[in-house]
Structure 1
Amino acid sequence: MGQGAPQGHNAATPRKRRDHRVDALRGLALLMMLCDHAPQDVLNRFTMRNFGFADAAEIFVLLAGYASWLAYGRRILRGPPEGGWLYTVERILRRCWRLYLFQMIMLFVSILTIRRWRHYDPVPVDFLEPELAHGSGWVWHVLTLEALPNNLNILPLYIVLLFSIPLMVWLWSRSPWLLLGVSFVLWVVANFNPSINFPNWLDPDGWYFDPLAWQFIFVLGMLSAWVAGRNDGNLPIPRWLRWTCVGLLIFGAFERFPYAQWGLPDLTPITPPSADKSILAFPRWTEAMAILFVVQSSVTAIRVSETKIGQAFALLGRHSLEVFSLGTVLDLFARLFMNSAGDGWWVQVVVNVTGLLAVFMMAWWLDRHRREAALMAGETRAEARRKALENS
């Protein structure tokens, strides 16, 4: 089992190094989402959805639960002035409002861009739902989160999950097993009856990410953060479980690899089980948890997260909302550009280099601005870390 930074045994205990594993993993997930949301992008052949049942969305929501426990869950149980129910709920509401604003900006930019673009070049019908293509009757449905277009449905899920944190913490305060049990029952209900869902004006089946199902992986992330917090940031996974997780990931890679797309013979071991994303099918959340178990119990993962590549991923992960939002808008422009200019190699180079540079430059600027603001305000490392968690 991986151990954290060594602790001294005298009065001069060295400062513990920051653990970048969660930030780096979240940053990697954000990059994969950037590729996956542009179907013509050749890089999406190399994202995790081609090597397993889960994809970047499961990792994103799992780590959102992990970070939410650190930023809000454990703080609810503390007393004033830097904790307690009122203090923390106020910050949750502020965060939800920020998520809502980013959702509205992305949505209106997407709709208005497509409606203008089609005046100059044809746009495939799957780029914009018919209800959003004409008039202004859609505005109210959008503002009330009743209308969730494709690729713009994960932030509303996050808002619902954040609103639920006080109830989740209340259940946890009675017993962590009670929280896990209630959450699991809700997931089972959603899987047996997918019609129990939030209404979506654009889709009679409801929200693509059914909150009743997806709350389960969010809760698993919260409980994982609680356990890791009791073990110096590591998940105390026995060796047999770690190797079971590795085996599960290898099995998923063989099951889900797109052999035909690569012109290879089919090596699928068995008929692939159902992996419905909307209801967070069993293979999806188990594989996402296997990834978290392997990463958060590994000393090697700590070392990798401290390399230049690991730090680049962590930079994105520390600014996940802004990176995700910019990436979503860039994906739209990439799809429109590829639809007009084709998806040849020069287009791939332009689209991917531009997109990657844009998100990394924005994350670098935000990180620098945050550090400068913290220095001017005279914040301690702990205060700066708390704000980073709340904004990640």
Structure 2
Amino acid sequence: MGPLDNILDRDIRLDACRGIALWFVFINHIPGNICSWLTLSRYGFSDTTEVFMFVSGLTCTMAYGHVFRSAGSWATICHTVRRSWEIYAAFLLLMLFLVVAVHWIDADLADGANVTVVLQQPGEALSRAAILQYRPVNTDVLPTFVLFHLLFAPWLLLLLRWPNATLAASALLYGLVQIYGWNLRGWPTNDWYFNPLAWQFLVTLGGWWVVVGRWRLNATRDVTSGDHAVGRIPDLVAGCCNELDQSGS
């Protein structure tokens, strides 16, 4: 059993966690909602967004890992690019829906929805939205996931071949972002709210957990129960690399 075999396991607990996370995000965006006291934002050092990013890394690695094993790297690229396009199209349609809704329902909502600039400069705003620089209120996460899915295939190949090095590089990039403040430019003002250069670390951590983390945990449990599986880990790594070589040929 190799690391790719772990990817094929579907755990419905992940779906439950992601569903709860989405509900918590919804609740936290309702001003003055007493139910927000039940969400993670009131406790600990993170909120539901971190949970959602981490679980997204888990589920995407499982889903695209299955495609990689069954159909190869080219099929994985096609799947990730198609998913990126779907999110991109959904983002543009949602933006247009918000603009039309605000225009017809109540123009006074334009400032709060961050669509005033579209009503004033429609050509410039739409072109900026097309390159993911302009985003209406509460749609910031969609452009970030457009980029994540677009780059997921090469990222997955790196994670499968060099999981620890990939995680270390991701952590290094996160640290540099904190030090130097790197971000992507937004329009008309400010940078990206969900900075992909920073949030990628949680997605990578989720993917690493699927490929290596669960693996090591299971091996440790086997050792404590008398089955010394740690000694088989080099063979598992070699098997993973062989599968990668065969898929790429």
TM range (shorter): 0.7 to 0.9
**TM-score, with structure 1 as normaliser:** 0.50
From 185, 209, 214, the counterpart of 1:224: 209
User: What is the TM-score of this pair, normalised by structure 2?
Assistant: 0.76
**Residue 126 (1) aligns with residue 112 (2):** yes
- 2:144 paired residue number: 157
Q: Does 1:166 align with 2:158?
A: no
Alignment match, 2:88: 100
CA distance in 2, matches of 1:127, 1:41: 19
Paired residue secondary structure (2:157): helix
- How far apart, CA to CA, are the structure 2 residues paired with 1:124 and 1:173? 46
Measured in 2, the distance between the counterparts of 1:66 and 1:101 equals 24
Deviations 1:329-356 (A, max 9, x none): xxxxxxxxxxxxxxxxxxxxxxxxxxxx
Post-superposition shift, 1:84?
0.9
**Match in the other structure for 1:210:** 195
Partner of 2:122: 136
- Aligned equivalents of 1:124, 1:72: Cα separation in 2: 39
* CA apart distance, 1:43: 2.3
Match of 2:246 in 1: none
TM-fit CA distance, 1:235:
6.9
Deviation by residue 1:74-102 (Cα, 9 ceiling, x = unmatched):
543x3xxx321111111111111111122
C-alpha distance in structure 2 between counterparts of 1:46 and 1:147, whole Å = 32
Identify the residue that residue 134 of structure 2 maps to in structure 1.
147
User: Do the aligned partners of 2:159 and 2:207 also contact (CA within 8 Å) in 1?
Assistant: no
RMSD across aligned C-alpha pairs, in angstroms?
2.5
Give how far 1:236 is off.
Answer: 7.3
Note closer, same or farther for the CA distance 1:20–1:123 as it changes in structure 2 (3 Å cut): same
1:28 is displaced (CA, Å) by 0.4
Task: Give the count of matched residue pairs.
Answer: 212
Residue 14 (structure 2) pairs with residue 26 (structure 1): no
**8 Å contact from structure 2 (residues 134, 186) kept in 1:** yes
Q: Which residue of 1 aligns with 2:39?
A: 47
C-alpha separation in 1, matches of 2:94 and 2:81: 20
CA distance in 2, matches of 1:153, 1:124: 17
* Residues 113 and 136 in structure 2, CA contact (< 8 A), matched pair in contact too: no
Do structure 1's residue 189 and structure 2's residue 181 form an aligned pair?
no
Which of 1 and 2 has higher RCO (CA within 8 Å, sep 6+)?
1
Amino acid at match of 2:152: I
Residue 26 of structure 1 aligns to which amino acid in structure 2? R
Shift in alpha-carbon separation, 1:112–1:53, aligned structure 2, 3 A = farther
2:183 alignment partner, SS class: coil
Note the residue ranges of structure 1 that are not aligned, 5 or more in a row.
Answer: 1-16, 239-392
Which residue identity does 1:83 align to in structure 2? A
Structure 2: which 5+ runs fail to align? 1-8, 222-249
Q: 1:226 to 1:52 in 2, by over 3 A?
A: same
- AA at the equivalent of 1:147: Y
Give the structure with the larger helix fraction. 2
Deviation at 1:18, TM superposition (A): 6.2
The alignment partner of 1:123 has SS state of: helix
CA distance in 1, matches of 2:118, 2:110: 14
Which secondary structure does the structure 1 equivalent of 2:122 belong to? coil
Residue aligning to 2:49 = 57
Kindly state the Cα deviation for residue 124 of structure 1 after the two structures are TM-superposed. Answer: 7.4
